[in-house]
Structures are given as C-alpha cells and as structure tokens.
Amino acid sequence: MIIYSLVNDDIHGDSFKHFLEYCLKNSTYFSVTFHDYEINKYSKFYKELEKYLEKMIRTYTWYQYKTFENPLNIGVYHSNLCALDNILNQFDTLFKNKDNGIEDLCFFCNENLLFGSVTHIEMAQLFLKTELELSNFEKFAQWEKMILTSRDYEYLPSFKFNN
C-alpha cells in the first residue's frame, strides 16, 4: 500500500464534485461519521442516504480517530453515483472548518481503505496499490507520498461486511 497525504488546504467547488464522483465510481463503499450534536442539522442528508446504507458501526476507533468515552457512529454506504447529489446538496467542500464540509468521509474498495479524512483537523490521505493510480487523483488536488508508522496503522478502519 502506498500512502499519499493531501497537500492542498482543501478540495472544494468543482474539484470536490469531481473528486466525489471519481471516488463513488471507483469504490465499493463510503462512510460518514455521525455526531449526536449534528443529527438535527443533517437529518435530511442522513435520511436521503438510508437507501444506500450497508450498516451502521459503533466503534471507538476509526480512520485516524480514537475515542475513549463515547463510541463513534459510522454510517457505511454502498458507493452509488446517485448519492452524489445527496452529498452535494448538503456539502461543498471536504474540510468542515472551511465552509460547509462533510464530516470524516472515507471511501473503500471492498474492505480496503482507498481514501480517509478527518475533516475537522484537515487531514486527508489516499491508500493506493500502485503509484500509477495517483494520476487519477492529481486532477483534483496535490498529494505527497508519506510513510506510516506501525502506530498509524492502529488508526485505520477495520471491518468485515459479512458479519
């Protein structure tokens, strides 16, 4: 696995739209973190995504996230281009602190992480099988190759869809 971190300060506007479109076409699943304090604000968005729901996961560890008191609520959805409008109707940027960003979006190829983000700290990474795949993502943003430590791997999502 080859890891790349986002160099740009955000992905927004048309780049955000095309990035999401590419990820939805080339992934099997995507996930969004649900926070209790935002349930009312995004209730329509969550409701619209229900038709793509694979499963809800309650966990203390997700992509680059570890919580000790309250588990995270993660919605895992089937990647479907029809979900693009639902996402874009609510969000126009990747990072939450910038404008109207989505919370902790991840994309998966089967059970393998393809893209992960922790939006409130403006972190986003690609997890690619080959260096050749990077050119597909350079259309949307700049990425920099990086090396993960063994501790970093403890913060990557792990799940099975068959259980």
**C-alpha dist (Å) from residue 24 to 21, 39, 60, 64, 152:** 5, 24, 26, 21, 25
Per the structure, the complete domain to which residue 16 belongs is given by 2-153
Could you tell me if residue 90 is inside a domain? yes
Residue 114 forms part of a structural domain: yes
Return the minimum-mean-pLDDT range out of 75-79, 132-136, 152-156, 158-162: 158-162
Does a structural domain hold residue 11?
A: yes
80-99 pLDDT, tens digit per residue, is 999 999 999 888 888 866 55
Tally of domains in the chain: 1
Q: Mention every residue, 6+ apart, whose C-beta is less than 8 A from residue 22.
A: 136, 137, 139, 140
User: Per the domain annotation, does 19 fall within a domain?
Assistant: yes
Alpha-helical (H) ranges within 58-101 are 83-90
Query: Could you tell me if residue 159 is inside a domain?
Result: no
Query: What is d(CA 140, CA 118) in angstroms, rounded to the nearest whole number?
Result: 18
Determine, yes or no, domain membership for 162: no
Q: How confident is the model at residue 55 (pLDDT cuts 50, 70, 90)?
A: very high
CB-CB neighbours of 69 under 10 Å:
5
According to the model, what pLDDT value does residue 98 have?
54
Place of tokens 């506007």: 13
In a domain, 38, yes or no: yes
**Is 160 a member of any domain?**
no
Q: What does DSSP assign to residue 137?
A: H
pLDDT given at position 16: 92
For residues 44 and 86, the answer to whether their CB atoms sit within 8 Å is no
Confidence grade of residue 144 (pLDDT, cut at 50, 70, 90): very high
More confident residue, 76 or 155: 76
Distance between CA atoms of 23 and 37, rounded to whole angstroms?
Answer: 28
